[in-house]
Amino acid sequence: MYKACIFDLDGTLTDTLDSLAHSVNLAMKELGIPGITREECRQFVGNGSAVLIEKTLKKAGEEYLSRFEEALAVYLRVFDENCTWHVKPYDGIPDLIQEMKQEGMKLGVLSNKPDRQAVHVVETVFGKGTFDLIRGQRDDFPRKPDPSASLLIAETFQAEPSEVLYIGDSEVDAATGKAAGMDTVLVTWGFRSREVLEEAGPSWIADSTKEIVEIMKNRRKRDEQLQRRMP
């Protein structure tokens, strides 16, 4: 059976699109730069705040990114104040978390959202102590899809990568899970289309949390069969 699970945050555990788009547009308004639509924001997220702001500026015609540092600083300040704005867990997520806890699994969150905001969102939505470890983007580790942080989480949980289930909603998450040697599920309720998810080549694509539970059960059955065959 799986000993641990690592979740992506935005688009996987929580619907944060409104908070992201709202924060970007507040920041751009302050700077006198055109904002973005909700759907544009959906396409721009997944690689951290710097990439989100870079794509926003380029969409507004700022090809040379002359205001990038200023815009990023304003966005980070605004987002710190609004990172839980209209944020809610996706349907079935609280039950999935409880199912995993009953299985004795350690639970982690790994996000390209800045660390301070990632921790704040998770603890606000799910409560402190629900997850055993929460890591957002920090200076001491490269952001996803580099596998370093996910491997550190597995090590902290005393689990081999093959004993960890990685769940995300984007091509970035698929690349992260693969690089770490973890079984990877991409969910369809997040920020990417099914076509993008299929092209990313995860272990599985899930349309509901019930399908993730079935993946866990099948892994348990497989491990039990292997144990029975051992001399």
Positions marked catalytic: 8
Whether residue 98 contacts residue 131, with contact meaning beta carbons closer than 8 Å, is answered with no
Look at residues 60, 90, 100 and name the one whose alpha carbon lies nearest to residue 220: 100
Look at residues 196, 110, 118, 119 and name the one whose alpha carbon lies nearest to residue 147: 110
Residue written as token pair 């920090």: 138
Which residue blocks in 83-205 are alpha helix, DSSP H? 93-102, 115-126, 148-156, 171-180, 194-200
How is 70-82 classified by DSSP, letter by letter? HHHHHHHHHHHHH
Residue 60's CB: how many other CB atoms inside 10 A?
A: 16
User: H or E stretch including 38?
Assistant: helix 38-44
